[in-house]
Amino acid sequence: MSTLVIVESPTKARTIRNFLPSTYRVEASMGHVRDLPSSAEEIPEAVKGEKWAQLGVNVEADFEPLYVIPKDKKKIVKELKDALKDATELILATDEDREGESISWHLLQILKPKVPIKRMVFHEITREAIRDALTHCRDIDNRVVQAQETRRILDRLVGYTLSPLLWKKIAWGLSAGRVQSVAVRLLVRRERERRAFRQGSYWDLKALLEKGKISFDAKLVTVGNVKVANGSDFDENTGQIISGRRVLLLNQEQARALLSRIQNKPWTVTNLEERPVTRKPSPPFTTSTLQQEANRKLRLGARETMRIAQSLYERGFITYMRTDSVHLSEQAIAAARSCVQELYGSEYLSPQPRKYTTKSKGAQEAHEAIRPAGSTFRTPQQTGLDGIDFRLYDLIWKRTVASQMADSRQTHVTVLTQVEDAGFRSSGKRIDFPGFLRAYVEGSDDPNAALEDQEVILPALKVGDKPNCKDLEAVGHETQPPARYTEASLVKMLESEGVGRPSTYASIIGTIVDRGYAKLIANALIPTFTAFAVTTLLETHFPDLVDTGFTSRMEQTLDEIATGEAKWLPYLQKFYTGETGLATQVKEQESQIDAKVARTVVLENISAKVCIGKFGAYLESESEEGLVKASIPQDLTPADLDPEQVEFLLKQKTEGPEKLGLHPETGEPIYVLIGSYGPYVQLGEVSETNKKPKRASLPKGTDKDSVTLDMAVSLLTLPRLLGTHPETGAKVQANLGMYGPYVVHDQGKVGKDYRSIKPPDDVLTIELDRALEMLAQPKAVRGSSKTATPLKELGAHPESGEPLNVYDGRYGPYVKHGDINASLSKDESVENFTLQRALELLATKEAAGGGKSSSKSKKSTKTAAAKSETATEKTAAKKTTAKKTTTGAKKTTTKKAATATATKKKTT
């Protein structure tokens, strides 16, 4: 007897094989084996002539889908059929969400097995979970399959009905989507808000006060008992104080006059308030909160986060990563509480197990939050993971463990001081007991460092005290426009609005960027002019499809189909072919949409038209000489396009480029221009004999108006030959590239070795010696805070004997010893950094709680491991890991005592 088990991926198959008897054969389907046709060549000959074939759904025959096996899956399907011939039982073990249920159903339709069939589900890939799942198999849930099939058909109807309309009216290759178009509209609306924003200016005073040799800040809040205006008092649309608000708006002159009036006058504490605050830990991760936090902490995009999480799941490190649930099983709660007890001590454990429930009505996917797999949680150090895999697991481990820890207890302190008729406020925060913050601080990589950053300690003050004023300054402020969406904030918004499902957010954001609707710049999603045009067309002619409420109700209906509360066919009929259905709307609206209007983006205060063309956005303006068109640089966003830039681009087109001067050697004119990829300098004019004149882009952040003739001449020398490498004889050059300035060691066929040039080094002035020094340094490993080789070796640690090295990290150079990382300050150079200085930094960091175990502990651990002469190398390694964990727990107890002492001192 043999049993065939089918999963989605080879990684998952390899992991599961380890937990099943030898009579089980595990094969991978490589994801979906069947889908609606993606191109005309995939449509079967038998139906190619049918009108509905291109759509892939026979609307007139009860929305019957046309499923095909893609060309790249035919070999896999044949292999699965061959494997089934030798099996006496088939187990479909695809993921436990809707998509996984759908894959199992499709496999059943294709393979047509004549042997017994079982559906096996599990939310983690561990021996215990797989063995348990084998004894609790079930049938395929046809209602879930129907809901997923409806979702797929619905997405196809929206995409394939609206996209051709966008091709005709705006530009070829554009796409619309049920959730994608709503997400794009959110980006566009925020950009419109930024464009409509009017900046407001205000001034206040900031003081540095001192009491008992402890300094603290104070900010002006009232003058003559009238509140001083701050940013929240301004109307974003006018840049003026909100009508009816009674506040005092200070300008620069008034602020400085007030400063002069109260300078050297006595300060008095008039009020002091202490307010105890208790904070509870956040629930364990769901798909969306993991994407948000990985974006904030690790700078990972949603797609990259899900790729890494899927790999961790398939290798048995975490539970299933597509889930809306914050629930933890009893097993997981016990494992998390055990970690807290061992690593932090009983005082850090919540008195009762914390149980979290999901508030979202639509929550369905898996039945448990994302957490470390197994009945006991491996610490990140015990996993053997490295790089970004380690960091994401570490994030999940910390969040899960913290969810079972005690509350954080803090005291918020507010002090009011008065000088003449001016009132100032000082705010402080004291962490009386860190609780869960000892393990996890949202938005921070290093909980211990974050704890220090969170505390704002004020001196012991009482009403009537007279602190000294050490410094007083007038400070100007300008209100800021609404922040653009990041991947994290967009995911949060989509989830809060009930649009789409968290499991789809990664692919949605990826599609938005891939299709040119948004650019991801400095972690912000910035919509393009094309996004503006498409959103305006859909808002005008198909408002429901980009309305968050309409899309949210659609999701609810799909959820109801999965539970049997709603019928799929009547819903599809009403949505697509009803009186107000999508197909009807498109027929009615198509003739009413003027393509010229649809391709035009209207922006306030811009006299020229912004149009969408075949090669991107361009300006169009009427002049005395006729119609003038000028390309808009690709990096210029709708919110940043202003009248001055429009004038320059049009002038460049009509009057020719701006001439800087003549090249000192060739005598040719040098011009400053703006092209599709931004500003650049050009040597000479384009002519029949000089079709491609020498050009050089301006360094990032350099304004075209600040370019001098000398700078332009220097830029036109790029790439600069600095000399030859002393070891290889190959040339070393400096140049500007897509990602900024760099030096390169070019060895021809052997390859090229690059290093980025960062300030204070300059691509125009860097010399060979400095370039060789940079090339000698190791490249940073992407996704890891380490480098392949240390920047500098300092010597052995006097206690542990372990080597102390300086590494290049994400936030600059740091020294590492065991689990303790200590950053070098900004004014310390790696070249002059000494062993003694490293020991000082590490001691300071360890005293602040920066490591999990001391050097002494590590040393004793190594000694103990060495004494185990009869153990194998593998067993010794396991014992060492176990001892490290135990030692870490002991050390934590010591640290708790130190923390308590420190807290007492701070309170005093």
> Catalytic residue positions?
320
| Residue keyed to tokens 């303006």 | 621
CA-to-CA separations, 140 to 152, 170, 314, 562, in angstroms, rounded:
18, 44, 22, 13
Q: Hey, what are 478's tokens?
A: 């300008």
What is the spatial distance between Cα 223 and Cα 231, in angstroms, rounded to a whole number?
A: 17
What is the spatial distance between Cα 532 and Cα 546, in angstroms, rounded to a whole number?
A: 13
Residue 692, CA atoms < 13 Å, CB-side half-sphere: 0
Do 314 and 9 contact (CB within 8 A), yes or no? yes
DSSP helix/strand/coil, 174: coil
At residue 595, φ and ψ (nearest 5 deg) are -60, -40
Angle between helices 142-169 and 568-576 (to 10 degrees): 10
What is the spatial distance between Cα 638 and Cα 79, in angstroms, rounded to a whole number?
A: 52
Nearest residue to 206 (alpha-carbon basis) of 262, 272, 268: 262
What is the spatial distance between Cα 618 and Cα 589, in angstroms, rounded to a whole number?
A: 26
Question: If you count them, how many residues does the chain have?
Answer: 908
Q: Hey, what are 618's tokens?
A: 């361009």
Q: What share of the chain is helix, strand, coil (3-state, %, to 5)?
A: 40, 20, 40
Do 525 and 518 contact (CB within 8 A), yes or no? yes
| Other C-beta atoms lying within 10 Å of the C-beta of residue 258 | 22
- DSSP letter at 38 equals S
- DSSP letter at 609 equals E
The answer to whether the peptide bond before residue 543 is cis (omega within 30 degrees of 0) is no
- Per-residue HEC secondary structure of 436-478 comes to HHHCCCCCCCCHHHHHHHHCECCCCCCCCCCCEEEEEEEEEEE
What is the spatial distance between Cα 148 and Cα 137, in angstroms, rounded to a whole number?
A: 21
At residue 116, φ and ψ (nearest 5 deg) are -60, 145
Do 18 and 40 contact (CB within 8 A), yes or no? no
* 98 alpha carbon, distance to own chain's centre: 26
- DSSP letter at 480 equals -
CA-to-CA separations, 581 to 147, 218, 550, in angstroms, rounded:
20, 61, 13
What is the spatial distance between Cα 652 and Cα 618, in angstroms, rounded to a whole number?
A: 13
| Residue keyed to tokens 């919509």 | 527
Q: Hey, what are 731's tokens?
A: 């040339």
Exposed (0-12), middle (13-18) or buried (19+): which is 287, by Cβ within 10 Å? Answer: buried
Compute the CA torsion angle 315, 317, 321, 323 (nearest 10 deg). 130
Q: What angle do CA 797, 802, 804 make, to 5 degrees?
A: 60
| Residue keyed to tokens 């001067």 | 661
At residue 217, φ and ψ (nearest 5 deg) are -85, 150
What is the spatial distance between Cα 105 and Cα 141, in angstroms, rounded to a whole number?
A: 9
DSSP helix/strand/coil, 783: coil
Give DSSP secondary structure letters for 713-773.
HHHTTPSEEEEE-TTT--EEEEEEETTEEEEEEE-GGG-EEEEE--TT--TTT--HHHHHH
What is the spatial distance between Cα 244 and Cα 241, in angstroms, rounded to a whole number?
A: 8
Do 146 and 568 contact (CB within 8 A), yes or no? yes
Q: Hey, what are 10's tokens?
A: 């080879």
